[in-house]
Structure formats: structure tokens, C-alpha cells
């Protein structure tokens, strides 16, 4: 069950996270609670898998190199491979699609050489080929979701 503080944190800070030297204190002051309460609530949200990370979203290839990657994984092995890929700190997110290429993820690296190395490593660890999909056009999709704070 989410507390009112959890809901406010999830709703209000999906975007516009304070860019200050003490962002959690800034949030606490905005919400009228203590910094420790904010930190504890974010830790709880993370432990309950409501959030996976707090960090910036940087435009693709603005810093380093990134690629959308698709893999065709048998249904019986999908969870194992998805868990393995999710363990990489270079993976922004991964998701299942209803297609022969049913596992997609965004991979980030310092440069194109490291990107290729990571792809090779993922292919070796999973036993499946990866298809890199280069970005031809930049599309922005706002992934913020408004929560009903009254529930």
C-alpha cells in the first residue's frame, strides 16, 4: 500500500527533479516533511520495485553511444534473458514485445567500441543473437504517468 508521501513522490518527481546540491532536502521542504522521510520513502519505493533508479534521462548519443537492441528469445527462456540484461548497468530499460523479436532494450556505452563489446558479451551470456537498430530519427515520448492521489 502506498502512503500519501509515496504517491506524491511518484507523481511529482517523475520529471522536474530538483537540480540542487541537496535535491532530497529540496523535495522535503516542498512537501513539508523531513529529508529523512523523503530518503526513507524513496528507499521503500525502490525495495517494492515501484522505481528502479533516480537519475537523468539523456538524449540518445548526446553523451557516449546508445542503441536500441532487439532479440528473438524463446518464451521459455524470456525471463532468464530479461533478468540477465536488466542486471547490466548500461541497460536503460528492457521490455517484451509481441513479435518474433520479443525482447527489446536500450543499451548505453562510453563509445561505439564499448557498445559493440557489450553486445558481444550479451550474445555470449544469453546464447542469442542481438540486432542493433540504429536511430534514424529522434522521437520524444513523455513517459510520465499522472497518478490519482485520492486512491
Of 93, 46, 110, 101, nearest to 74 by C-alpha is 101
Where is pLDDT greater, at 71 or 60? 71
Of the pLDDT bands very low, low, confident and very high (cuts 50, 70, 90), residue 42 is very high
Structure-model confidence comparison of residues 80 and 16, the more confident one: 80
- Right CATH for 65-133 from 3.40.50.720, 2.60.120.260, 3.30.450.20, 3.30.70.3460: 3.30.70.3460
Q: What is the mean pLDDT of residues 2-11?
A: 91
The dihedral through the CA atoms of 27, 32, 36, 37 has a sign that is negative
Domain ranges of the chain: 4-47, 65-133
Mean pLDDT score of the chain: 89
- What is the tens place of the pLDDT at every residue in 70-127? 999 999 999 999 999 999 999 978 899 999 999 999 999 999 999 999 999 999 999 9
Share of the chain above pLDDT 70, in %: 89
Rounded Cα distance between 42 and 106, Å, is 24
Q: What is the pTM of this model?
A: 0.62
- Mapped onto helix, strand or coil, the DSSP state of residue 93 is strand
Using one digit for the tens of pLDDT, what is the confidence trace for 129-150?
999 997 777 666 666 677 766 6
Backbone angles phi and psi of 98, in degrees to 5: -90, 85
Amino acid at each position: 500500500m502506498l502512503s500519501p508521501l509515496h504517491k506524491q513522490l511518484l507523481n511529482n518527481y517523475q520529471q522536474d527533479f530538483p537540480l540542487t546540491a541537496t535535491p532530497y532536502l529540496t523535495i522535503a521542504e516542498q512537501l513539508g516533511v523531513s529529508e529523512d522521510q523523503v530518503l526513507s520513502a524513496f528507499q521503500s519505493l525502490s525495495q517494492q520495485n515501484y522505481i528502479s533508479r533516480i537519475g537523468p534521462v539523456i538524449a540518445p548519443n548526446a553523451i557516449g553511444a546508445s542503441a536500441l537492441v532487439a532479440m528473438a528469445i524463446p518464451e521459455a527462456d524470456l525471463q532468464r534473458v530479461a533478468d540477465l540484461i536488466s542486471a547490466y548497468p548500461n541497460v536503460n530499460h528492457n521490455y517484451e514485445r509481441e513479435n518474433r523479436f520479443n525482447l527489446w532494450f536500450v543499451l548505453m556505452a562510453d563509445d561505439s567500441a564499448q557498445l559493440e563489446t557489450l553486445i558481444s558479451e550479451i550474445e555470449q551470456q544469453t546464447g542469442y543473437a542481438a540486432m542493433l537498430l540504429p536511430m534514424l530519427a529522434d522521437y520524444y515520448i513523455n513517459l510520465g504517468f499522472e497518478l490519482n492521489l485520492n486512491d
